[in-house]
């Protein structure tokens, strides 16, 4: 219950990482991943975009630190080259394993053998370490960073867990030299658990399943699944109740169903519904329908932009996926004829292109449109 005068804040978070009270369950996943970390096992975590991988892993890292493990989180999203990889990795290691004090600054050179972190400040004035990379020494510097954590682990007699977020990025470099170097070193590290995360499933799965790739079978696959319907239903019901909105279990469950248990879309739709509901007001099916309408109004310009860049064949394939029933097969003669999808080979090419564009996902022989509301938008327009 809020006190009089308290600032009213929307309780649903969808556009950034969630933590603490905004984090929904994932008890089994946290238990599993902590088990991997304690046992120094490597794991490949993958799912569609916006499934909450980063929020989950950062919760795991927080708990791992409480247990005395060293932790490093490396965001590789912007790493388009070996030089950027070394910079991202070395700065993450520096900022995780060195305290930001003058004493640590004087001892920073002890962490690496070749690199020298420089203490500076971010936009908020907080001290952070930055590293300059000599392009002529990229691979030796990379090896130095890889082994720096192992040296710290041995010196402190602790275990560590290192997270590479958007790991599939290094698989897009001009050659696989960085992959080979990384594998050579980390397979020797006995007390470090490596978490390799990816949101482009087909890319990261290929890195670990392709016999011709350096990372073949180097980590246990861990697909991050949807949060259970009952857990999400209970979560959003409590959120609405805590902020003095009324909602029954059936309506809350319908929201979860509409969003197919996808945490991002559940939070997004609930955010809109909450904004358009007054304190003490009951949320019913009309409120939910109005929320869907607003969400589509907000997202339609981006969908229009995406649609305009697609070929006619790709548009037809998306329309088929959006409209086909659960029982229908993508390559059935009836479906191909009904939607004018051309030959099976041309359909295959269109599907591959849509998967590469991160618009469509494939699970065995099942194809789905990743953005749930893009699917609704397609059905509404055609």
Return the minimum-mean-pLDDT range out of 98-107, 125-134, 219-228, 302-311.
98-107
Better-scored residue on pLDDT, 327 or 71: 71
Question: 248 pLDDT exceeds 70?
Answer: yes
pLDDT of res. 16 = 80
pLDDT confidence band for 342 (50 / 70 / 90): very high
Mean of pLDDT values over 148-156: 91
The share of the chain scoring above pLDDT 70, in percent, equals 95
pLDDT of res. 102 = 46
Mean of pLDDT values over 36-65: 93
Mean of pLDDT values over 8-13: 86
Considering the entire predicted model, what is its pTM? 0.87
In the chain, CATH 1.10.10 sits at 310-381
pLDDT of res. 202 = 87
Question: 262 pLDDT exceeds 70?
Answer: yes
Question: 5 pLDDT exceeds 60?
Answer: no
- CATH for the stretch 310-381: 1.10.10
Question: 155 pLDDT exceeds 80?
Answer: yes
Question: 6 pLDDT exceeds 60?
Answer: no
In the chain, CATH 3.40.50.300 sits at 26-223
Better-scored residue on pLDDT, 136 or 296: 296
Question: 115 pLDDT exceeds 90?
Answer: no
pLDDT of res. 97 = 86
Tens of pLDDT along 71-99? 999 999 999 999 999 999 999 998 898 76
Mean of pLDDT values over 198-225: 93
Instruction: Show the 3-state SS of the chain.
Output: CCCCCCCCCCCCCCCCCCCHHHCCCCHHHHHHHHHHHHCCCCEEEECCCCCCHHHHHHHHHHHHHHCCCEEEEEECCCCCCHHHHHHHHHHHHHHHHCCCCHHHHHCHHHCCCCCCCEEEECCCCCEEEECCCCHHHHHHHHHHHHHHHHHHHHHHCCCEEEEEECHHHHHHCCCCHHHHHHHHHHCCCCCEEEEEEECCHHHHHHHHHCCCCCCCCCCEEEECCCCCHHHHHHHHHHHHHHCCCEECHHHHHHHHHHCCCCHHHHHHHHHHHHHCCCCCCEECHHHHHHHHHHHHHHHHHHHHHHHHCCCHHHHHHHHHHHHCCCCCCCCCHHHHHHHCCCCHHHHHHHHHHHHHCCCEEEECCEEEECCHHHHHHHHHHC
Question: 163 pLDDT exceeds 50?
Answer: yes
Question: 247 pLDDT exceeds 80?
Answer: yes
The share of the chain scoring above pLDDT 90, in percent, equals 73
pLDDT of res. 99 = 67
Mean of pLDDT values over 186-214: 94
Better-scored residue on pLDDT, 3 or 130: 130
Better-scored residue on pLDDT, 84 or 364: 84
pLDDT of res. 131 = 86
pLDDT confidence band for 111 (50 / 70 / 90): confident
Mean of pLDDT values over 106-126: 77
Return the minimum-mean-pLDDT range out of 101-110, 181-190, 204-213, 282-291.
101-110
In the chain, CATH 1.10.8 sits at 229-306
Mean confidence (pLDDT) of the chain: 90
pLDDT confidence band for 1 (50 / 70 / 90): very low
Instruction: Confirm if 11 and 272 have CB atoms less than 8 A apart.
Output: no
- CATH for the stretch 229-306: 1.10.8
Return the minimum-mean-pLDDT range out of 16-20, 50-54, 309-313.
16-20
CA distance 339 to 75: 41
Q: Which CATH class for the 26-223 domain?
A: alpha beta
pLDDT of res. 251 = 97
Question: 382 pLDDT exceeds 80?
Answer: no
Mean of pLDDT values over 169-198: 94
Mean of pLDDT values over 56-83: 95
């Amino acid at each position: 219950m809020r006190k009089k005068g308290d600032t009213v804040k929307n309780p649903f978070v969808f556009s950034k990482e969630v933590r603490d009270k905004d984090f929904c369950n994932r008890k089994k996943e946290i238990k599993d991943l902590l088990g991997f970390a304690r046992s120094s096992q490597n794991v490949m975590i993958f799912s569609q975009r916006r499934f909450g991988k980063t929020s989950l892993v950062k919760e795991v890292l927080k708990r791992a630190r409480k247990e005395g493990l060293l932790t490093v989180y490396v965001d590789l999203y912007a790493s388009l080259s070996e030089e950027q990889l070394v910079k991202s990795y070395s700065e993450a290691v520096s900022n995780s394993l060195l305290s930001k004090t003058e004493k640590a600054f004087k001892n920073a050179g002890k962490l690496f053998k070749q690199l020298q972190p420089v203490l500076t400040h971010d936009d908020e004035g907080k001290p952070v370490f930055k590293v300059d990379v000599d392009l002529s020494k990229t691979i030796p510097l990379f090896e130095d960073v890889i082994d720096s954590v192992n040296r710290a682990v041995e010196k402190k007699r602790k275990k560590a867990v290192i997270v590479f977020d958007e790991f599939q990025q290094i698989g897009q470099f001009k050659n696989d030299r960085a992959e080979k170097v990384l594998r050579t070193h980390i397979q020797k590290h006995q007390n470090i658990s490596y978490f390799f995360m990816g949101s482009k499933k087909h890319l990261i799965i290929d890195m670990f399943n392709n016999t011709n790739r350096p990372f073949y079978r180097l980590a246990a696959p861990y697909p991050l699944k949807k949060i259970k319907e009952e857990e999400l239903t209970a979560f959003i019901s409590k959120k609405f109740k805590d902020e003095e909105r009324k909602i029954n279990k059936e309506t809350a469950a319908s929201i979860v169903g509409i969003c197919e248990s996808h945490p991002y879309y559940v939070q997004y739709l609930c955010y809109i519904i909450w904004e358009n509901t007054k304190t003490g007001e009951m949320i019913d099916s009309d409120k939910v329908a109005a929320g869907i309408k607003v969400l589509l109004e907000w997202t339609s310009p981006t969908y229009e932009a995406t649609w305009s860049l697609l070929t006619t064949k790709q548009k037809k394939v998306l329309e088929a996926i959006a409209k086909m029933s659960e029982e229908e097969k993508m390559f059935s003669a009836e479906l191909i004829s009904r939607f004018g999808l051309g030959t099976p080979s041309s359909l295959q090419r269109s599907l591959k292109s849509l998967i590469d564009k991160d618009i469509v996902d494939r699970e065995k022989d099942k194809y789905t449109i990743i953005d749930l509301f893009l699917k609704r938008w397609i059905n509404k327009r055609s």
